[in-house]
Amino acid sequence: MARRLILIEGLPGSGKSTTAKMVSEILIGQGKQVQLFREGNLDHPADYEGVAFYHAEDFKALLTTYDDYREILESNAIAYHQGVLIPYRKMKEQRGIELPDQVVGDI
């Protein structure tokens, strides 16, 4: 299956969201599988600002430093290559997980 990425950019109020919705509806009408991601969507696959990567040893050190939050951090960590991804922004904003600012800042 060939994957395609369509980006729609423009000035505020120029119709980006309307155009993106229209394009996705046209593609769906053609039988294509479509995923529409708007800016600020916490499920966006390229949301690098809200996700931190830790090598395995560094993640262990983080867990040791913040042992009170070990269960939360481990249950939300996503295995990736030789370490883990921690979607800290999504944890705080979407799931309502309480993490002190110091923990988030260190992550």
DSSP secondary structure of 45-59: TT-GGG-EEEEHHHH
Task: Report the distance separating Cα 76 and Cα 46, nearest Å.
Answer: 18
pLDDT of 23 reads: 95
* pLDDT at residue 95 in the model: 65
Residue 40 has pLDDT above 70, yes or no: no
Global confidence as pTM? 0.58
Report the C-alpha gap between 27 and 23 in whole angstroms.
6
Could you give phi then psi for residue 41, rounded to 5 degrees?
-70, 120
Query: What is the model's pLDDT at position 58?
Result: 95
Predicted local confidence at residue 24, as pLDDT: 94
Residue 50: pLDDT band with limits 50, 70, 90: confident
Q: What is the mean pLDDT of residues 89-105?
A: 81
What local confidence, expressed as pLDDT, does residue 69 receive? 93
Average pLDDT of span 23-37:
92
